[in-house]
A and B are shown apart, each in its own frame.
Chain A
Amino acid sequence: MNKNKIYPMWFAVLALLIYSVLFVLPGLIGIGYSFTDWSSYSNQLHFVGLENFKTVFSADENYLKIIKNTLVFTLGTTIIKNILGLALAVLLTKSIRLLNFHRGVMFLPSVLSTLILGMIFTSILNPSSGLLNTFLREIGLGGLAKPWLTSPHYAFKSVMAVDIWRGTGYIMTILIAGILSISQDYYEACSIDGASSWQKFRFITLPLLLPTLATTTVLNVIYGLKVFDMIYALTNGGPGKATTEVLYTAVFKKFGTGQYAIGTALSSVMFVFMVVIGFFMIRMMTKDEVQE
């Protein structure tokens, strides 16, 4: 390799410096604060060891439910978005009429602001005057009209459904790019060997798409763990104590009530989750991937 062709390290110094000052340093300071009693009620700061983490993981508190909610949301939306996104990507790489129109329609929800979507869906899912329930009543299916966002039985599933609707188009677009990069030669060879459509998908598309699927999964997982705006706009963690509360909405509320230390402890827990999950997921998903 010609060493002259490689950019020297000092090219990265400024970027690294800015990144460290704006991202790494505040992150480390935040983790540091989670070992203190920092709050808006006192100017003094004391080291309290693992006290805040004990509170976070205490069975008496609600935080374990919040962590569970975050993980369920992440897992559920990631799996369903990937499955639906893959199905749509396969469909929309076939020769069908108005292909780009269909792709555009599916991608559209991802372009809109999450907060605006949240507000629109709050109205659509309103139990008395919402579009969905009105429609169900109009077609004689009034029994299916439910309090989607205001009942503890449906709220979490409704929030996940709206998020899946919003994010599937985005995943689909990435997967379409992945599918289009697979050489047609493989499919032709398969056809000559008499492979069925399912076999082509199972033995050609899926293995060659694994690196792209790994990317979409990582993106989804990180998004899921960090989700805030969708939940904030739709239910703000309610109804009730913590039906749809996730880590970021909880952090937001803790900061709002001046309990900064607990807030930073929750952020630190989330940071550890993201690092661990991200690391193992990338390791696992890139283990068997096929290189062309």
Chain B
Amino acid sequence: MKLRKLAVLSLTMAAALVFSGCSKVESGTAGSNAAGGSSLEETKASSAQGKDNVTISFMASQDWIQDAEIELSKKFTEETGIKVDYQIIPSDQYVNLLMTKLNTGECTDIFGAQSGKFDIKAQINVEKNAMDLSGTSWGGQVEPLVADELSVDHKLYGQPIQDVSSVWAIAYNKQIFQKLNLEIPKDYQSFTKVCDAIAAAGITPVYECVSDGWHHTLWLPEAGVQAESKEPGIVEKWNENKATFEGDTTLTTILNQINEMVSKGYWGEDYMSNTYADSAKNIASGTFAMTIANQGFGVEVNKINAEIAVDDIGYFVIPLADNQTLNVNPAGPARFVFSGTKHKAEAEQYLEFLAKEENLTYLTENVGKFNKLPFKNAKSRYTETVQEFYDRYPNKGTVVQTAVKYVNPQWSEMGANLSAMIVGEMKPAEVLKSIDEVRAQQAKAAGDPAWK
């Protein structure tokens, strides 16, 4: 009898819990509906009155909206009366949520998304979901390579949010170079001479970390910009399925030279177990002279060893296959105006406000990781070393993983293939063939007409 009472009590409690849970969700939904409803009514009322009290909503992944931008929005509200409601979503959920909102036609007035001319067309379908921003006053100020990643059929759809200027280059310890009287290599031949001289001094030339699975992959698609420099139009041919990676002389040379670096001992002995997290520590200790890094690396090394100044870490492009083209990656987060917005004019006004020179300067000065926003009228605050590095290479080319379709999604697979090549399980031609095969699989899955 007691047991039965206990069972009834537990069941009742369980049912109560379930219902309270449901009712909470319902009340939450009701609340948000009410809020949405009221804001809609407010908006309707306000649009009759003017722009006072108009609120535009802006949804973005975490880290995309900086405190400095929120501060600027207060100034924007003071100037125009338009408020900005930021909806910041955890990054692991962002794409799913954005796609759901776009597919149901209920997106925020402005939404953030990663740029990339293929992705914004195939994944976000900007031609349907976003406003054409080509005619805006700031549209022409966006740096051409960055604008290209935000455009479909020469129409600009987005505004870049972040600094995308940092590139993966070979960071080197200037103190070691000066001590050994070495100069920045200008081709692979001179790079091997530099490596030989460093190795002869008892220092391991290059810190490489294969175990992370992604860092050693950088050598191929980053130095791969040389393929387009050597054979203009090859990127287009790859994208139209008129050429393959297999058999490409530049890419094959890069892979052969990676093998050569390993066999000559330029990567030391423990490259298979090294980790990226230890790269600054190892360069700071002086046991390694170079590694692939971006332009914040000097600061990291300086934090570990104050005797190496930030400007003691210099940079040069990856010289495999004699590359001397600066390997830029112009893709990054961007703001798009939702095509179904009722506040098109206000949303565009906000983007115009952000692109003003003084506001770009404010963002650059107040966001630590911004050195140069990708607008022609934005000021830069590069250190002398970094500025000199960028100026040294007048030719710029977009990295293979952004310029060529279906390369970036197979990054980890490429990494596994490259490590198989390094341990002697695969040949360079097989690595390139494998990339072609995975590209073909993905293209077919995406229904790409070039692969039919």
B67 interface contact, C-beta 8 A: no
Q: In the complex, what residue of chain A is closest to B270 when comparing beta carbons?
A: A128
B-contact 0/1 string along A212-234, CB 8 Å cutoff: 00000000000000000000000
Cβ B447 vs Cβ A239 within 8 A: no
Most buried by A among B122, B413, B416, B422: B416
Which of A42, A149, A151, A241 lies in contact with B445, CB distance below 8 A?
Answer: A42
B61 interface contact, C-beta 8 A: no
Total interface residues on B, CB under 8 Å, equals 26
From DSSP, what is the main secondary structure of chain A's interface residues?
A: loop
Cβ A238 vs Cβ B419 within 8 A: yes
Residues from chain A with a CB closer than 8 A to the CB of B446 are 39, 41-42
B412 interface contact, C-beta 8 A: yes
Q: Which size bracket describes the interface of A in this complex?
A: 20 to 34
A126 interface contact, C-beta 8 A: yes
A76 interface contact, C-beta 8 A: no
A258 interface contact, C-beta 8 A: yes
Residues from chain B with a CB closer than 8 A to the CB of A152 are 423, 425
Cβ B442 vs Cβ A151 within 8 A: no
A259 interface contact, C-beta 8 A: yes
Cβ B412 vs Cβ A241 within 8 A: no
Most buried by B among A41, A128, A259: A41
Cβ B412 vs Cβ A239 within 8 A: no
Residues from chain A with a CB closer than 8 A to the CB of B413 are 253, 257
Cβ A240 vs Cβ B426 within 8 A: yes
Which of B270, B272, B273, B409 lies in contact with A257, CB distance below 8 A?
Answer: B409
CB within 8 Å of A: which B239-291 residues: 269-270, 272-273
A37 interface contact, C-beta 8 A: yes
| Bound Cα distance from A253 to B415, whole angstroms | 12
Cβ B273 vs Cβ A150 within 8 A: yes
Residues from chain A with a CB closer than 8 A to the CB of B272 are 127, 147, 150-151, 239
Which of B269, B409, B419 lies in contact with A240, CB distance below 8 A?
Answer: B419
Cβ B122 vs Cβ A128 within 8 A: no
| Bound Cα distance from A39 to B446, whole angstroms | 8
Cβ B410 vs Cβ A127 within 8 A: no
Residues from chain A with a CB closer than 8 A to the CB of B269 are 127-128
B213 interface contact, C-beta 8 A: yes
A256 interface contact, C-beta 8 A: yes
Q: In the complex, what residue of chain A is closest to B423 when comparing beta carbons?
A: A240
Cβ A241 vs Cβ B273 within 8 A: no
Given contacts A41-B122, A44-B447, contact A257 B410 (CB under 8 A): yes
Cβ A258 vs Cβ B213 within 8 A: no
Given contacts A42-B446, A147-B273, A241-B420, contact A259 B441 (CB under 8 A): yes
Give, as a whole number of angstroms, the nearest-CB distance from A198 to chain B: 45
Q: In the complex, what residue of chain B is closest to A261 when comparing beta carbons?
A: B445
Residues from chain B with a CB closer than 8 A to the CB of A238 are 211, 213, 416, 419
B147 interface contact, C-beta 8 A: no
Which of B420, B425, B445 lies in contact with A37, CB distance below 8 A?
Answer: B445
Residues from chain A with a CB closer than 8 A to the CB of B417 are 241
Given contacts A128-B273, A150-B211, contact A258 B442 (CB under 8 A): yes
Residues from chain B with a CB closer than 8 A to the CB of A243 are 425
Cβ B211 vs Cβ A259 within 8 A: no
A-contact 0/1 string along B418-452, CB 8 Å cutoff: 01101101100000000000100110011100000
Which of A127, A236, A237 lies in contact with B270, CB distance below 8 A?
Answer: A127
Give, as a whole number of angstroms, the nearest-CB distance from B204 to chain A: 11
Residues from chain B with a CB closer than 8 A to the CB of A241 are 416-417, 419-420, 425-426
Cβ B419 vs Cβ A41 within 8 A: no
Q: In the complex, what residue of chain B is closest to A60 when comparing beta carbons?
A: B437
Cβ B423 vs Cβ A239 within 8 A: yes
CB within 8 Å of B: which A237-292 residues: 237-243, 253, 256-259
Give, as a whole number of angstroms, the nearest-CB distance from B4 to chain A: 15
Q: In the complex, what residue of chain A is closest to B212 when comparing beta carbons?
A: A236
| Bound Cα distance from A151 to B419, whole angstroms | 11
B326 interface contact, C-beta 8 A: no
Given contacts A150-B211, A151-B423, A152-B423, contact A237 B410 (CB under 8 A): no
Given contacts A42-B445, A241-B416, A259-B445, contact A126 B409 (CB under 8 A): no
B210 interface contact, C-beta 8 A: yes
Given contacts A127-B273, A241-B417, contact A258 B445 (CB under 8 A): yes
Give, as a whole number of angstroms, the nearest-CB distance from B439 to chain A: 11
Residues from chain A with a CB closer than 8 A to the CB of B210 are 150, 239
| Bound Cα distance from A41 to B119, whole angstroms | 10
CB within 8 Å of B: which A21-45 residues: 37, 39-42, 44
Residues from chain B with a CB closer than 8 A to the CB of A258 are 409, 442, 445
Residues from chain B with a CB closer than 8 A to the CB of A127 are 269-270, 272-273
Residues from chain A with a CB closer than 8 A to the CB of B409 are 257-258
| Bound Cα distance from A157 to B425, whole angstroms | 18
Residues from chain A with a CB closer than 8 A to the CB of B410 are 257
Given contacts A258-B442, A259-B445, contact A240 B425 (CB under 8 A): yes
Q: In the complex, what residue of chain B is closest to A241 when comparing beta carbons?
A: B420
Given contacts A238-B213, A239-B272, contact A42 B423 (CB under 8 A): no
Q: In the complex, what residue of chain A is closest to B213 when comparing beta carbons?
A: A236
Most buried by A among B412, B417, B438, B445: B445
| Bound Cα distance from A257 to B426, whole angstroms | 21
Residues from chain B with a CB closer than 8 A to the CB of A259 are 441-442, 445
Residues from chain B with a CB closer than 8 A to the CB of A253 are 412-413
Residues from chain A with a CB closer than 8 A to the CB of B416 are 237-238, 240-242
29 A–B contact pairs at CB < 8 A? A39-B442, A39-B446, A41-B442, A41-B447, A42-B445, A42-B446, A42-B447, A126-B270, A127-B272, A128-B273, A147-B272, A147-B273, A150-B272, A151-B423, A152-B423, A152-B425, A236-B213, A237-B416, A238-B419, A239-B272, A239-B419, A239-B423, A240-B420, A240-B422, A241-B426, A253-B412, A253-B413, A256-B412, A259-B441
Top 4 nearest A-B pairs (CB, nearest first) are: A150-B272, A240-B420, A41-B446, A39-B445
Binding site for A on B (CB under 8 A): 122, 210-211, 213, 269-270, 272-273, 409-410, 412-413, 416-417, 419-420, 422-423, 425-426, 438, 441-442, 445-447
Binding site for B on A (CB under 8 A): 37, 39-42, 44, 126-128, 147, 149-152, 236-243, 253, 256-259
| Further contacts, 15 of them, CB under 8 A, given A40-B445, A241-B426 | A37-B445, A41-B122, A44-B447, A126-B273, A128-B269, A147-B272, A150-B210, A151-B423, A236-B213, A238-B213, A240-B426, A241-B416, A253-B413, A256-B412, A257-B409
